[in-house]
Structure 1
Amino acid sequence: MSKELIETILRDAGIHVDGPAPSDIQVHNPAFYQRVLTDRNLGLGEAYMDGWWDCPQLDVFFHRLLTSDAERKVKTNLKYLLRLAPAFILNLQSRSRSRIIAQRHYDLGNDLFFSFLDPYKQYSCAYFHQTDDLAQAQVNKLDLIRRKLHLENTDHLLDIGCGWGGLAKYMAEQVGCTVTGVNISSEQLQYARSWCRDLPVRFLDCDYRDIPGVYDKIVSVGMFEHVGAKNYRTFMRLVHRCLKDDGIFLLHTIGSNFSQFTCDPWISRYIFPNGMLPSMAQIARAAEGLFVIEDWHNLAPHYDRTLMAWHARFQRAWPELRKTYDERFKRMWDYYLLSCAGAFRARHIQLWQIVMTKDGRGVPQPANLRG
């Protein structure tokens, strides 16, 4: 019964078991069908990691699957709902739990991340405006942020969730402004401090809720996904407190088409523990009464291209990485990068850059935003 149901759902998406197309799958273990039916997204991902099935082009597979709304066709079971329940009841992104993501993902090892990232170490969506090159596209993204913030050399910029310090380095070098970066990843902070040691940049190891000071401009890139719905308002209040009255705030975040309190179970278990994608409504509610939204820019197609570029680089780097990481890790990383590329391609998830001010002073935005 489970085999017939899963095969029907796949056929409706244009995917065939043991078919010849690049998006077709090859099933190696007959227990695959019941595992997917029981554990849905989690079971599908874990079965791939375990080698129970393969697909020549996972990104195309997920694009087709998500476009067909396959997840809705698999009946929810109690076991699956119980797995999601803690996110509804508990604050999984509290202070005491906030460093879990750093320890389990961002501190995996710089060798892994630097094998596929650009020279500015940007682990977020690039901007492929008039280029096919990842490095140039990431510079485009950084420059787009600079222009949206109207950053000047007299500004003090706060970077919430600063990664390895690439954005801080770019802004300090290109604009000459002062930058304070905040992070909770020990690996990233150690690298950032060394990399930017001769620039007007400082890095703080602290939870965003404890950020001190007041700043001319504030940016947060790829960090809001770790804040959690129970803390969105807290985050916006913190930014409001830290931003000067005439300042500008830019939020760069992956977003969901629907308001939710959970993340994909496989992504949460293996890639981003306790992650959560905000919806437009959740962001707007969190900002209400604190900020005026000046501009809302969707860059989702660019994240598809970014992930495909990362995956190509990861493949080229694997002969060296395999000395440290095993084959199951590789299958996990392939699945992560390509499933996310397919999700962005299907417009199942989005990438937003949102510009806000306290007083709605009508910040002019760059002319070529939609390229």
Structure 2
Amino acid sequence: MWDRAFDLMLRRLLQKGSLQVTLPNGQRLHYGDGSGVLLHVELHNVATVRHLVLNPELALGEAYMNGTLTITEGDLHSFLGLIVKNYRNAPGVWWQRLLPRLRIALRRFTQNNVALRARRNVAHHYDLSDTLYDLFLDPDRQYSCGYFRDPNDTLEQAQTNKKYHIARKLMIEPGMGVLDIGCGWGGMARTLAQDFGAQVLGITLSQQQYAYASETADREGLADRVDFQLCDYRDVTGTFDRIVSVGMFEHVGLPHYHAYFQSIHDRLSPDGIALVHTIGWTGPPDATNPWIAKYIFPGGYIPTMSEVMQSVETSHLWTADVEVWRLHYAETLRHWSERFAANEDKVRALYDDRFVRMWRFYLAACEQTFRHGRQAVFQFQLTRRIDAVPLTRDYLYQPQTAK
């Protein structure tokens, strides 16, 4: 029964490419039109087949991380790329149609990231070993999309490009007060302080990030210009000339979009500028992938532009500029995957084989979704006044002026 259902599911899904699957009973099945490189996957028990049939979006990642699905010809990136490319136009099978609809219907419950839940969600991912992140991120620990002005840019150069591009959009001047919502390990805050002379308050809910950011600012002599606090965006007081938020909006949750943008409005000076940098979904609204939600980013969600703008419009903010970055995150993730692969023995020593497979799958799946799916990066430049920024984008491409 399960073998027949599995066969039907894959025949509906895989119209292009070449995939061979060996079932637990030794039977070999072939899918696709024969194009491209042949990939071979082995499934090692009936429970995995059953789980893939009933809940493939969750089961695929679990099977790989648990070792009950192995790739014997080809590699993980090629396999996931094949799945993502075919998934866009696949008709699907009737018994899998209810679960995605249910996930969409429950989004406002699963993403109700009140302060306590938000802290738990952040700790799940960001309060892992500091050493782990040093093994695949750049030295500044930029854990968001780089900006590849040139395809040959290194990861370090792309992350510097990103920070300076955002600084240009913020039109930072010495002495300005800046709020960095979801400051991560403090790299953006330190750049705005050191290179542009800003006074920065960075807030995070991660104990590990807070400790690292504070210690690094002290070590680099920036403690008088950068302050880091363990604080929820809803609890910030005062006003700021500039507000920046990079890679944090994905953790806000649909029910809190209005509160988030209202906070930006209330904390931004009348002639201020805010920049929100977030992963975005370029298709109709969807639910978070269940494997990502369970193992990587609980409470996370990739918004569509329409979902973002609905809340911006009711927060009395001007949308001064919107920019869409295509494939930049795919390239960023390629660099992260390569660095992670080169250091897997060290990651294994920190955790175990299952953790290595889980993060290998996470990085590869995200790269292939950015490369072949509907994910991109949105940058929203927001103001309270219609004339707070120049009328054209020319100022973004003038020679860089730091402090």
Note whether the superposition's TM-score is higher than 0.5. yes
- AA aligned to 2:270 is D
In 2, Cα distance between equivalents of 1:23 and 1:193: 50
The residue correspondences of 1:75-224 to structure 2 (distance < 5 A) are 75=94, 76=96, 86-89=106-109, 92-130=112-150, 131-197=152-218, 198-199=221-222, 200-224=225-249
Give 2:44's aligned residue.
29
Kindly, what percent of the aligned residue pairs are identical? 36
Unpaired segments ≥5 residues, structure 1: none
Equivalenced residue count is 369
Structure 1 residues 108 and 84: alpha-carbon distance in aligned structure 2, compared to 1, 3 A threshold? farther
In 2, Cα distance between equivalents of 1:71 and 1:231: 33
SS in 1 for 2:112: coil
CA shift for structure 1 position 176? 1.3
Give 1:301's aligned residue.
327
SS in 1 for 2:260: helix
In 2, Cα distance between equivalents of 1:78 and 1:286: 29
User: What is the TM-score of this pair, normalised by structure 1?
Assistant: 0.93
| Residue from 17, 24, 44 that aligns with 1:14 | 17
SS in 2 for 1:306: helix
User: What is the TM-score of this pair, normalised by structure 2?
Assistant: 0.86
Kept in 2, the 8 Å contact 1:28–1:51? The answer is no
CA shift for structure 1 position 205? 0.7
- AA aligned to 1:140 is N
Deviates more, 1:355-364 or 1:156-165: 355-364
SS in 1 for 2:189: helix
SS in 1 for 2:350: coil
Deviates more, 1:283-292 or 1:232-241: 283-292
Kept in 2, the 8 Å contact 1:259–1:278? The answer is no
In 2, Cα distance between equivalents of 1:121 and 1:30: 40
Give 1:318's aligned residue.
344
In 1, Cα distance between equivalents of 2:99 and 2:169: 46
| Residue from 351, 360, 383 that aligns with 1:357 | 383
Give 2:76's aligned residue.
58
In 1, Cα distance between equivalents of 2:239 and 2:136: 35
Give 1:337's aligned residue.
363
- AA aligned to 1:60 is S
In 2, Cα distance between equivalents of 1:83 and 1:354: 27
Kept in 2, the 8 Å contact 1:261–1:276? The answer is no
CA shift for structure 1 position 321? 2.0
CA shift for structure 1 position 73? 1.1
Unpaired segments ≥5 residues, structure 2: 22-29, 399-403
- AA aligned to 1:270 is Y
SS in 2 for 1:98: helix
CA shift for structure 1 position 94? 1.1
